[in-house]
Amino acid sequence: MKQINDYKDKNVLVFGAGLSGTNAAKLLIKLGANVTLTDAKPASEIADFDELVKAGVKVVAGKSPLSLLDNVDLMIKNPGINYDVPLVKAAEDKKIPVIVEIELAGEIANAKLIGVTGSNGKTTTTTMIAEMLNAGNEKGKAYRAGNIGISATKVAEKATSNDEIVMELSSFMLLGITTLHPHIAVVTNIFENHLDYHKTRENYINAKMQITKNQTADDYLVMNFDREEWRKLSKRSKARVVPFSVKGNYEDGAYQHDGKLYFRDEYIMKAKDIRIPGEQNVENALAAIAVARLSGVSATEIVKVLKNFGGVRHRNQFVLSSNGRDFYNDSKATDIEATQMAIEGFKKPIILLAGGLDRGYTFEKLEPDFKKHLNGIVLFGETAQLLKDSAQKAGVPQIKVVDNLDEAVPVAYEMSKPGEIVLLSPANASWDQFPSFEIRGDQYIKDVEKLTGKKEE
């Protein structure tokens, strides 16, 4: 970790006592700052409360009054806290800088930074990259961090100049950076997402493209070139653009041609040899291949990783097989495009479980995929009736609406036949019935295990 004096004797307010906030507070104490951490949760619900207090952090729990901003030099906020929240808005009105934990991590990191963002595929791509880099590393180690659920500051503290930090970066995180500078930035794709936070698609796109704002001509932007919009967005960057594509032969990047994967005309492997199914995972693999080859990892090591990579939990994750049915957990599919990608990735007929939080959109985009791939659909949550309308228009032969996921699993099994896929890919956020997509996916796995009498493989 770099020894910096920028925070010595500064008064820093950390807003939000989640993983990023508590680790940022601990680091700031080490850097000589005067730190106050605040959260609406009571002290009993704040992780590491006693440790924080013992370290010298002033913890204000159960409330976050505007008076906390008196004499504050800097605010570090949880990325999920909206800028409309009174305490954040008041800080900005007072011209107090507002950043997020990844910005602090970038300032202290000795390791090379690789940043990964996008609407879909971030976690899978981040994990593929880290595994490829570790396969090719002789001296250092590639660490994952960021939105993947691993504190960026904690990783940055231990990483050395021989290491790499592969950061998964959400749009919420990227809004809170000023100097973060990944040597290689990856944009997997940009669809329409999180408009409840960003208000407009343009704002969302601008947040995503923050990943390249501090890059120079000595850096790389690995960008999905399968849509004209994304090709145009790449022109915003000062970095050297390295395209990847499953549709076009971009010979200065990574691409698929006739079912084979290449990087700059170097043959890597056949797409069908990637262990996890789906065109979206070919895209993710191409992005990871580009980063790995730019980092000097051999094609041989890359192939070994992709032939053995079993995917990431809750992202088109194979759960188990029972009586000729294959069960998959794609709970991370919290938008329409992610569910489209999941459905299109399977060759066998599908019984789909879907539904969740109503964010105000409808599901016409899914109708062609419903028509082509589904033998049945089981729906739950706030959007169940909207999805039912689209399923009926698509002519899905079996449609059921149930109250919750626990009811959906046995109904989906009864609909299915040997040789079919039973797939949870909700196309919606989980928050109407579950605190997170992870908890939703875990519940699906438990329900499948209970139904089949088998354990997750």
Domain boundary among 99, 129, 164: 99
Residues 30 and 69 in one domain: yes
Residue-by-residue DSSP string for 10-26: -EEEEE--SHHHHHHHH
> pLDDT at position 279, please?
87
- Assign residue 152 the CATH number of its domain: 3.40.1190.10
pLDDT of residue 137 exceeding 90, the answer is no
Residues 232 and 108 in one domain: yes
Residues that constitute the known binding site for ATP: 118-124
pLDDT-wise least confident of 94-108, 217-231, 254-268, 335-349: 335-349
Q: Which two tokens stand for residue 144?
A: 């994952």
Residue 109 counted as domain residue: yes
- Collapsed DSSP state (helix, strand, coil) of residue 393: helix
Residues 303 and 171 in one domain: yes
d(CA 309, CA 290): 17
Residues 118 and 199 in one domain: yes
Residue 457 counted as domain residue: no
Residues 282 and 146 in one domain: yes
> pLDDT at position 316, please?
86
Counted residue by residue, the chain has a size of 457
Residue 5 counted as domain residue: no
> pLDDT at position 276, please?
86
Residues 177 and 114 in one domain: yes
- Determine the distance from the C-alpha atom of residue 177 to the mean position of all C-alpha atoms in its chain, rounded to a whole number: 17
d(CA 18, CA 40): 11
Residues 95 and 142 in one domain: no
Contact criterion met (CB below 8 Å) for 263 and 293: yes
DSSP H helical ranges for 31-121:
49-55, 86-93, 101-108
> pLDDT at position 341, please?
87
Share of the chain above pLDDT 90, in %: 89
Residues 391 and 415 in one domain: yes
Residue 456 counted as domain residue: no
Residues 231 and 255 in one domain: yes
Please tell me the total count of domains within the chain: 3
Residue 268: CB atoms within 10 A of its CB come to 22
Residues 150 and 203 in one domain: yes
> pLDDT at position 183, please?
98
* Contacting residues for 313 by C-beta, under 8 A, at least 6 apart: 329, 438, 441
Residue 1 counted as domain residue: no
pLDDT of residue 289 exceeding 90, the answer is yes
Residue appearing with tokens 């343009």: 202
Residue type at 449? E
Residue 126 counted as domain residue: yes
pTM: predicted TM-score of the whole model, two decimal places: 0.81
d(CA 104, CA 92): 18
- Assign residue 447 the CATH number of its domain: 3.90.190.20
Q: State the average pLDDT for the chain.
A: 95
Closest CA to 215 of 117, 297, 145, 100: 117
Residues 87 and 118 in one domain: no
d(CA 425, CA 379): 11
> pLDDT at position 382, please?
97
Domain with 336 in it: 317-451
* Kind plus residue range of the DSSP H or E element containing 222: strand 220-224
Domain boundary among 38, 71, 99: 99
Across residues 354-365, what is the average pLDDT? 95
Band (190; pLDDT cuts 50, 70, 90): very high
Residue appearing with tokens 């499953």: 246
d(CA 132, CA 120): 20
Residues that constitute the known binding site: 118-124
* CB burial of residue 54 (10 Å; 0-12, 13-18, 19+): exposed
Furthest-apart CA pair in the chain: how many Å? 67
pLDDT of residue 269 exceeding 90, the answer is yes
Residue 19 counted as domain residue: yes
- Assign residue 20 the CATH number of its domain: 3.40.50.720
Residue 235 counted as domain residue: yes
Residue-by-residue DSSP string for 272-290: GGSSS-SHHHHHHHHHHHH
Residues 120 and 245 in one domain: yes
